[in-house]
Amino acid sequence: MLTTRRFQPLRALVVATLLGVLVVVPVVRSEDLTEMSLADLLDVRVTSVARQDQDIYEAPAAVYVISAEDLRRSGVTSLPEALRMVPGVEVARVNSSVWAVSARGFNGRFANKLLVLLDGRSLYNPIFSGVYWDVQNVLLEDVERIEVIRGPGAALWGANAVNGVINIITKSARETRGTLVTARAGNAERGFLGVRQGVQLAPSAWLRLSALGFERDASVETGDGRGSDDWRLGQGGFRFDWEPNLADSMTLQGDSYRGSLGETFNVPLLVFPYGERLSVDTRVFGGNLLGRWRHIVSPTADWAVQVYFDRALNKDVVAGQARSTWDLDLQQRFSPAAGHNFLWGGGIRHSRDHTSDGMVTRFSPAERSFDLYRAFLQDEWLLAGDRLKLVGGVQFEHNEHTGFESQPTLRLLWTPAPQQAVWLAVSRAVRTPSQAEDDVQIDQKVVPPQAAGDLPVLVALVGNRGVQAEKLTAFEFGWRSRLTPRLGIDLATFYNRYRNLVTVEYGRPVLVDAPQPHILQPLDGANTLDATGFGAELALDWRVLPAWQLKGSYSFLRLLFARDPGSSNTLFRDQADANPEHQLSLQSHLDIGEDWQFDFWGRYVSALPAPDIPGYLTCDLRLGWHPRDRVRLELVGQNLLDAAHPEFESERLSAAAMEVERSYYLRFTFTQ
């Protein structure tokens, strides 16, 4: 429970913020809000909900947009940290380079119910159905916006878009002409350097080249001082955009990276002392290449085709993997009749994985290929003078694990007035098993012999090819409104029913001779867990003054679990409960004159029951100064209310528990 003493620093910061406002109000710009462009304040466009550009008030889904300005003023240094702004999204740092990110529950290092896209390229990893956030790095100055859908997006985006979709959209090469140099240094982030050069090659062709490199210090290990999770990475990339005419636009882009990630694991041994702590450096390599072509036929008709290749490798003594993915996606939009907007498309994905045995993880077979075939269609039907919109859609997929799957949705949107929207939705989504759930063995612990002549017992998670897809039926209601020209509200509620959740059950013990005699106690994968989830997410955006904006959010989540009769193991059920019931966020953005900015971000996250992580309260501060038009200096303090606090513990892989430290950094940015 939070004590009064812990609240005192936050009270002091809030009071300081308010006093700062009272002092600077006489000197801030006195521009009349009524003279400002309402479109500049309120016009938010999204593309992820319907796979096409639309006003956010036309979107019948719980969608939140992080703008480029939000990223800059928040002071965040990574994509996962930016997602803390989104109501209904759980973000917790496991260590310096590893995050647990999910939406509406089921969070974890290997969270597998959230689909993440970067410029249309899926970051989904078929080994465990999640995202390796440590290798998802971009220059944040190149990000145009991040669109986050909470709730199922499977009807358009496919399996594993169960609890949400995150779409990271970067700026075109046309928008990033010129030179950018940005550098930062601090106590946690020892150094960061990012450079970008954008040029116009022809009247309708642009090229952007960029590179970044950084080194992050190790975290504090819980109860044991300094950790070994230091993080180093370098990355380079390009983007080429060509618009040969008004109807066509083409993009070719790619990145490559190389890095090293430190971590400490508790490794079980079959001999005395039956376990040891091992600090390792994981070497990561990878790259990708994406091409996209879009053709506009008319204001109500267009088509697009996209293809990408992705290669990722990581090597350490715990495990190793190399993965190659080819993906082809196409879609077409047209209006078959008045009041109808029809969208259809599909794609093929081929991936090939090669794994190598480590000290705790091994796959059988070590090499495997997967093919995924998908097709989707959706119809938007305008009714009642365009004030009602009925959306029906479905995605059909065939995968190597469970065969054929269908994922439908039905949504109703009512817009009684401009910038007012009420929506309802019912959807079905599935999460298909990963290669790990089919083929893996992950050693958890060794139970020493209890008497002379006994053998040690190795407890291990063991894959099961009989595991079926997890299924979700979701019911959602939302209300989005611009109450006044200066105040907006977004409320989303949901009720989710999960079936066939993957957990583990005790299998039959097996006598194993190699590498030395022992008894293997398998924990076999099984679909023996159901769950009910419900909650609400509230976001407020208040333009107090032309120079002062407040943004707040609150999220409530409750998950209730039920094991099947005869189920005997609670391991995965406990891991699934690693979600905060309450989350609060308050951001204040204040412009002081023409050259100074002061930003405050306070957050509260309630306790996590399963890993026994206490709730925490923290805040970030940012002071920005523009001494010249092309130069910006920023001083940022993060997690300021305590020296260090834990946010999460690694599941399935027994890694050392780390804490997030108070940190500071100074950033310099030059543009030309």
As averages over each run of 10 residues, the pLDDT of the chain (672 residues) reads: 40 41 37 35 78 92 95 95 96 93 92 94 86 93 96 91 96 96 94 97 97 93 80 96 96 96 89 89 94 95 97 80 94 92 96 88 90 96 90 95 94 94 97 90 91 90 93 97 94 97 92 91 92 96 95 96 84 76 97 94 93 92 93 96 92 85 96 92
d(CA 73, CA 70): 5
Say which residue the tokens 């085709």 belong to: 305
440-447 and 457-462 strand pairing: antiparallel
Q: Where do the structural domains in the chain lie, given as residue ranges?
A: 4-671
Q: What is the token pair recorded at 44?
A: 């938010």
Q: How many residues does the chain have?
A: 672
Q: 243: closest CA among 251, 231, 234? A: 251
Are residues 601 and 620 in contact, defined by beta-carbon separation less than 8 angstroms? yes
The pTM is what? 0.92
Task: Quote the pLDDT of residue 28.
Answer: 39
| Amino acid at residue number 561 | F
Residue closest to 519 by CA, chosen among 587, 414, 448: 448
Give the span between the Cα atoms of 4 and 420, in whole angstroms: 40
Return the SS3 of 224. Answer: coil
Query: Is the omega angle on the peptide bond into residue 336 within 30 degrees of 0, that is, cis?
Result: no
Q: Are strands 143-150 and 121-122 parallel, antiparallel or unpaired?
A: unpaired
Query: By three-state DSSP, how is residue 113 classified?
Result: coil
Query: CATH for 4-671?
Result: 2.40.170.20
Per-residue pLDDT, 156 = 94
Nearest to 403, CA basis, from 423, 373, 443: 373
Angle, CA of 111, 113 and 117, to the nearest 5°: 95
429 by Cβ neighbours in 10 Å (0-12 / 13-18 / 19+) ranks as: buried
Sign of CA dihedral 56, 165, 235, 186: positive
